[in-house]
Amino acid sequence: MAAMNDLSSTPAQDPERPQRVRKPEWIRVKAPVSKGYHETRKLMRDLNLNTVCEEAACPNIGECWTKKHATVMILGDVCTRACAFCNVKTGMPRIVDPLEPEHTAAAAAKMGLEHIVITSVDRDDLPDGGAGQFVKVIQALRRETPNTTIEILTPDFRGKMRPAVEAICEAGPDVYNHNLETVPRLYPTIRPGARYYASLRLLEEVKSHDPLIFTKSGIMLGLGEQRLEVHQVMDDMRSADIDFMTMGQYLQPTPKHATVMDFVTPKAFTAFGAIARAKGFLQVASSPLTRSSYHAGEDFAQMRAAREAKLAQKQTQKKAGREI
């Protein structure tokens, strides 16, 4: 039986643990049956768009799609990497769909989205890693739905990071998200094609290119990480000036994927969230069902308000300093 990880426990990798364990009651979600869910599904099919909601078998799909909130996954549905936690197909991807930017913008317009999250598979096969398609999607959204705020969740663009990040930042997304996924010790087994410090550097690069773009990153808990390793990731993220941290429970999509080592309790998630807030993030989301794009619109509004409040406070302090 996997441990229920409260803050007192310190999980460790144990190869003797069983492959699949019963989910605790706080993880169970209702089957998606609502009218809104079916409408969102139909719209995505009609526009030939993929979503990470379906491809990653996200547990929140019923709730999000009912509210017409879907995360569009561009650049196809086949990934060139094979991360141990991810349900997306691996292999040789098909050619890039030139209509995808317009279709994504059409979906945002039809759903009347105030905030949209766009992600993609890894495309190590493309010379720009797929950055150009992100740019086209952002441009199409700005044209068709100028009031929609845009959040992108990109791959690490291994070997071509700097030009990719520069091009995307020039296009001007509101939020740039890139997930660290787990603690550095677990990279060789969980995220073997990626490098922890390269991912941190990518997020630093976004800030140095345009400090006004909010940066966001997240990790999954329950993969065997230790409590202090999670705190270290928080410190690393703050050193890279990341604004928003997300933490959610890892769920094993199929028996072939990495085993759930621990189900972290809601209480422990709350405690991790409090520590992250104390470390200075503008926004933190930490709960078993937190995913990068879960409640992304509401969280974006709060993060923007938090930045404005911080800036106003700084100005007041500066003014008070001048008057002394």
Nearest residue (CB) to ligand SF4, 112 versus 163: 112
On the CB side of 78, CA atoms within 13 Å amount to 10
206 close to 177: Cβ distance less than 8 angstroms:
no
Answer for which of 5, 60, 80, 104 binds ligand SF4 (CB under 6 A) is: 60
Answer for which of 43, 44, 49, 52 binds ligand SF4 (CB under 6 A) is: 52
The H or E element containing residue 237 is helix 227-239
Q: How many CB atoms neighbour CB 114 within 10 A? A: 15
Strand partners, 218: 246
Nearest residue (CB) to ligand SF4, 72 versus 171: 72
Q: Is 64 in the site for ligand SF4 (CB under 6 A)?
A: yes
On the CB side of 171, CA atoms within 13 Å amount to 25
Stretch that binds ligand SF4, among 3-11, 67-75, 82-90, 96-104 (CB under 6 A): 67-75
Nearest residue (CB) to ligand SF4, 54 versus 204: 54
CB of 58 to ligand SF4, least distance (A): 3
The H or E element containing residue 248 is strand 244-249
Nearest residue (CB) to ligand SF4, 5 versus 293: 293
Q: Is 269 in the site for ligand SF4 (CB under 6 A)?
A: no
Those residues whose C-beta lies under 8 Å from the C-beta of residue 305, and which sit 6 or more positions away, are none
Stretch that binds ligand SF4, among 41-49, 63-71, 127-135, 155-163 (CB under 6 A): 63-71
Answer for which of 2, 3, 49, 61 binds ligand SF4 (CB under 6 A) is: 61
Task: Tell me how far apart the alpha carbons of residues 217 and 194 are, in angstroms, rounded to a whole number.
Answer: 15
Nearest residue (CB) to ligand SF4, 117 versus 206: 117
Smallest CA-to-CA distance from 27 within 298, 294, 290 is with 290
Q: Is 285 in the site for ligand SF4 (CB under 6 A)?
A: no
Beta strands in 53-92 (DSSP E): 72-74, 78-79, 89-90
Nearest residue (CB) to ligand SF4, 196 versus 294: 294
Those residues whose C-beta lies under 8 Å from the C-beta of residue 238, and which sit 6 or more positions away, are 279, 280, 281
Nearest residue (CB) to ligand SF4, 151 versus 262: 151
Nearest residue (CB) to ligand SF4, 61 versus 74: 61
206 close to 166: Cβ distance less than 8 angstroms:
no
What is the total residue count of the chain?
324
Q: Is 265 in the site for ligand SF4 (CB under 6 A)?
A: no
Report how far apart the first and last C-alpha atoms of the chain are (Å, whole number): 63
CB of 290 to ligand SF4, least distance (A): 8
155 close to 194: Cβ distance less than 8 angstroms:
no
Binding mask 287-316 for ligand SF4 (x = CB under 6 A): ----x-xx----------------------
Q: Is 138 in the site for ligand SF4 (CB under 6 A)?
A: no
Residues 164-203 that bind ligand SF4 (CB under 6 A): none
The residue assigned the tokens 């549905």 is 77
119 close to 137: Cβ distance less than 8 angstroms:
no
Binding mask 68-107 for ligand SF4 (x = CB under 6 A): -xxx------------------------------------
Binding site for ligand SF4 (CB under 6 A): 52-53, 58, 60-61, 64, 69-71, 291, 293-294
